[in-house]
Amino acid sequence: MLFAAALAFIFDPANLLGEKGILPRLMDHLLYTGLSLGAALLVGIPIGLLIGHTGKGKNFVIALTGSFRALPTFGLLLFIILFTGLGLGPLVFVLAILAIPPIIAGAYSGLDSVNRETIDAARAIGMTEWQILGKVEIPLALPLILGGVRSATLQIIATATIAGYVGLTGLGRFLIEGLALHDYTLAFAGAILVAALALVADGILALIQRLVVPHGVSRGMARTTTRSSRRTAPSALTGAPLTEG
Amino acid sequence: MIEFRGVSKQFDDGTLAVDDFSLVIPSHKTVVLVGSSGCGKTTLLRMINRMVDPTSGSILIDDEDIAGLEPVKLRRRIGYVMQNSGLLPHRKVIDNVATVPLLEGVPKRQAYARAMELLDTVGLDRSLANRYPSQLSGGQQQRVGVARGLAVDPNILLMDEPFGAVDPIVRADLQQELIRLQQELGKTVVFVTHDIDEAFLLGDQVVILQVGAQIAQQGTPTEILANPATEFVADFIGAGRGKRRLSVDASVESEGNDLVLVDSAGHAAGVVDAPGGVIANGDSGPKSRSISNKTDQAGDA
Amino acid sequence: MQWLWENRDLVFGLSLEHVRLSAIPIIVGLIASIPLGWLANRFRVTRAIQLTLFGILFTIPSLAFFITLPSVLGTKILNPINVVVALAVYAIAIMVRGAADAFASVPRDVIQSATAVGFSSASRFWKVELPLSGPVLLANLRVVSVTTVSLLSVGALVGNGALGYLFINGYQRDFPTEVMIGIIFTLIIAVLFDQILVAIGRILMPWARGARGASRALTVGGAA
What are the average pLDDT values for consecutive 10-residue runs of chain C, which has 224 residues? 81 91 92 83 81 84 86 82 90 86 84 85 83 86 90 87 89 90 92 92 76 40 29
Cβ <8 Å between A219 and B132: yes
pLDDT at B255: 66
Which residue among B77, B90, B103 places its CB closest to the CB of A127? Answer: B103
C59 shares contact with chain A (CB less than 8 Å): yes
d(CA A229, CA B247): 50
Q: Are strands B214-219 and B205-210 parallel, antiparallel or unpaired?
A: antiparallel
Give the pLDDT confidence of B68-94 residue by residue, as tens digits.
Answer: 999 999 999 999 998 887 899 989 999
What average pLDDT score do residues A208-229 get?
A: 58
pTM, two decimals, is 0.80
What secondary structure letter does DSSP report for B24? E
Residues forming beta bridges with residue B219, ordered by sequence position:
B206
Distances (CA, A) of A35 to A32, A156, A162, B60: 5, 10, 16, 55
Residues 125-154 of C with CB under 8 A from A: 143, 146-147, 149-151, 153-154
User: Which helix (H) or strand (E) segment is C105 a member of?
Assistant: none
The torsion angles phi and psi of B246, rounded to 5 degrees, stand at -105, 145
- Min Cα distance B73 → chain A (Å) is 7
pLDDT at C219: 35
Residues forming beta bridges with residue B5, ordered by sequence position:
B58
C222 shares contact with chain A (CB less than 8 Å): yes
Contacts of C55 (CB under 8 A, 6+ apart): A238, A240, C93
Residue type at position B201: L
Nearest CA in chain B to A220: B134
ipTM for the whole predicted complex goes beyond 0.95: no
Give the highest mean pLDDT range of A81-85, A184-188, B57-61, C218-222. Answer: B57-61
Helix, strand, coil percentages (3-state) for chain B, rounded to 5, are 35, 25, 40
Cβ <8 Å between A151 and C186: no
Can you tell me whether residue B188 is helix, strand or coil?
Answer: strand
pLDDT at B280: 63
Give the pLDDT confidence of A146-169 residue by residue, as tens digits.
Answer: 989 998 998 899 888 887 888 788
pLDDT at B9: 93
- Min Cα distance C146 → chain A (Å) is 5
Distances (CA, A) of C70 to A99, A172, C56, C84, C161: 30, 18, 19, 12, 16
Dihedral of CA A101/C55/A77/C166: which sign? negative
Cβ <8 Å between A228 and C180: no
The torsion angles phi and psi of B7, rounded to 5 degrees, stand at -85, 130
Q: Is the pLDDT of residue A243 over 50?
A: no
Residues forming beta bridges with residue B291, ordered by sequence position:
B272
Full DSSP string of A27-83: HHHHHHHHHHHHHHHHHHHHHHHHHHHH-TTHHHHHHHHHHHHHS-HHHHHHHHHHH
Give the pLDDT confidence of B1-50 residue by residue, as tens digits.
Answer: 899 999 999 998 888 899 999 999 999 999 999 998 888 899 999 999 99
Q: Is the pLDDT of residue A218 over 70?
A: no
A12 shares contact with chain B (CB less than 8 Å): no
Q: Is the pLDDT of residue A220 over 60?
A: no
What is the Rg, in whole angstroms, of the alpha carbon atoms belonging to chain B? 21
Which residue among A125, A216, A223 places its CB closest to the CB of B91? Answer: A216
B90 shares contact with chain A (CB less than 8 Å): yes
pLDDT at A230: 32
Cβ <8 Å between A195 and C104: no
Q: Is the pLDDT of residue A219 over 80?
A: no
pLDDT at C4: 81
Nearest CA in chain B to A137: B88
Give the end-to-end CA distance of chain C in Å, rounded to a whole number. Answer: 36
- Min Cα distance A18 → chain C (Å) is 23
d(CA C164, CA B78): 64
Contacts of B294 (CB under 8 A, 6+ apart): B269, B270
pLDDT at B241: 63
Task: Tell me if C154 sits within 8 A of A244, measured CB to CB.
Answer: yes
B106 shares contact with chain A (CB less than 8 Å): no
Full DSSP string of C122-135: HHHIIIIIHHHHHH
